[in-house]
Amino acid sequence: MTASAPGPTTDAVPPAVVDRARRWRHDLHRIPETAFTEHATAAYAARVLDELGYEVVTGIGGTGVVASLTRGTSGRSVGLRAELDALPITEASGVEYASTRPGAMHACGHDGHLAMLLGAAALLAEDGGFEGTVRLVLQPAEEPGHGARAMVDDGLFDRFAIDRLFGIHNIPGLPAGHLRTRPGPIMAGEDNFRIAVRGRGGHASAPHLVVDALVVAAEIVVALQHVVARSVDPVSTAVLSCTDLRTDGARNAIPTHATITGDTRSFDPAVSTLLERRIREVAGGVAAAHGAEVTVDYTREFAPTVNDGASVAVAGLAAARAVGMDRLDVDAPPIMGSEDFGVLAGHVPACLVFLGNGTAPEAGGVPLHSADYVFNDDVLASGIAFYREAVVESLSTPDETPV
């Protein structure tokens, strides 16, 4: 592995490249598309990459794109990943380049992630500085957690050799341009559950004649609050949230049916298995005590994102050169949010990096998934610089030495 050079190189990203990335982002922001409908977004990015000289393959996993660029004769390869999809949110940011599609908005910064990737692609195509192959993975449907799996199932890693993969996600509340990562778990897995309670409804004036599904559901919700506190090892991390409770009751009618929905977050598959078992046991026990029936549906939506240690070391060297040691943390705490980068990281050594979007509300600090969220264009150069340095660092080691 090469020794790190004095940083940062963010200022070395040509202004013309940053300007192009900003223009690309604004164009993409105007045409948001939700999961698996990202046809215009994918076509836009594919056209840019084709013009830059990349070999572009479209339609992978639906609307996914892979673009490749090879320099020299090395058989090494490195992948960079960005997302294509937007959220079903009506934009209220007030920016002049706002969404032109009612009910859809880039409220998570995927337009910024993609623009940084295109900027790095331009820089790598123009300046080179590496031997091997760069693969740009443009993934659909990250928000519902299905896009990475769709690309893998469509032969992503069978069709395109990728020795190591990097991704960036912006984080509001973190100082602009700062980079954070860590070895091991960095983002949680997300599981969803649905608990359906069936009782015996009736008139509100005669509760002694019914099995009140609402009361049963309420007791289940309260009982589930003890699962993490009393079933999960205190040194592990887990969240269990009941997020909705609905019935078929009326003002003067006790319901027959009640439905609880919610989700859990954890970093360890064993904890996920424990949470599912305890949810089923608690719901079943409470329902039985009241003479009600219950069914539980439990699905695993997002795998935990677990960073490969060697890839984090490469990312650390790259980030130090890109933004400087004073804006880098390679032992950052994990977060309970989820990302389907974890699916990709389960197939190849990979590292997800967080990029600070800013702390002030007017400069990148509005939370993700908010109608007034705005990606901070001032961090484009940091992302571009990191991606370039990650490629150079990954491909600079002699072929006979494992990275």
Residues marked active site are found at: 85, 142
The answer to whether the annotation marks 169 as part of a ligand binding site is: yes
CA separation for the pair 64, 143 (Å, rounded): 14
The answer to whether the annotation marks 143 as part of a ligand binding site is: yes
Which spans in 141-268 are helix H?
A: 147-153, 156-159, 213-224, 227-231
CB 150 within 8 A of CB 61: yes
CA separation for the pair 215, 232 (Å, rounded): 26
Measured CA distances, 20 to 15, 202, 231, 333 (Å): 9, 65, 52, 33
CB 185 within 8 A of CB 306: yes
CA separation for the pair 182, 319 (Å, rounded): 12
For 152, the 3-state DSSP assignment is helix
Beta strands in 75-210 (DSSP E): 77-83, 132-139, 165-172, 179-180, 184-187, 189-198, 202-203
Residue 332's Cα: distance from chain center in Å?
A: 17
Which H or E run contains 242?
strand 238-247
CA separation for the pair 373, 281 (Å, rounded): 40
The answer to whether the annotation marks 113 as part of a ligand binding site is: no
Q: Could you tell me the two tokens for 282? A: 């608690």
CB 292 within 8 A of CB 214: no
Work out whether strand 165-172 and strand 350-358 pair parallel, antiparallel, or are unpaired. Answer: parallel
CB 85 within 8 A of CB 161: no
Write out the binding residues for Mn(2+). 108, 110, 143, 169, 369
Write out the binding residues. 108, 110, 143, 169, 369
